Amino acid sequence: MIYMLKVNILIASAVFGFAGVFILVLFAWTETKKYAYALRSMRPVAGAARRERFAISRGNSRNRNATSFHVA
């Protein structure tokens, strides 16, 4: 009786262990795809931010007033 219980526990742990690993791999795969999509969609935004930083620094260099507000 105890022997069969040990065998059943061994088989169940193997089956559910493989199922758990499979679910974990699927979850990691979907999260990786979402992360890659987010990086691709942020690429144009990052390019605009670099151009904007240049425009702000150019605007600060033209303003010689000591009481003006400086960004960055």
Provide the pLDDT for residue 28.
97
Asked whether residue 65 carries a pLDDT value surpassing 70, the answer given is: no
User: Residue 65, SS3?
Assistant: coil
pLDDT, one tens digit per residue, over 1-14 is: 888 889 999 999 99
- List the domain boundaries for the chain: 22-61
pLDDT, one tens digit per residue, over 12-43 is: 999 999 999 999 999 999 999 999 999 988 88
> Distance (Å, rounded) from C-alpha 55 to C-alpha 39?
24
Confidence band, pLDDT 50/70/90 cuts, at residue 48: low
In 3D space, the residue among 54, 57, 52, 58 whose CA is nearest the CA of residue 71 turns out to be: 57
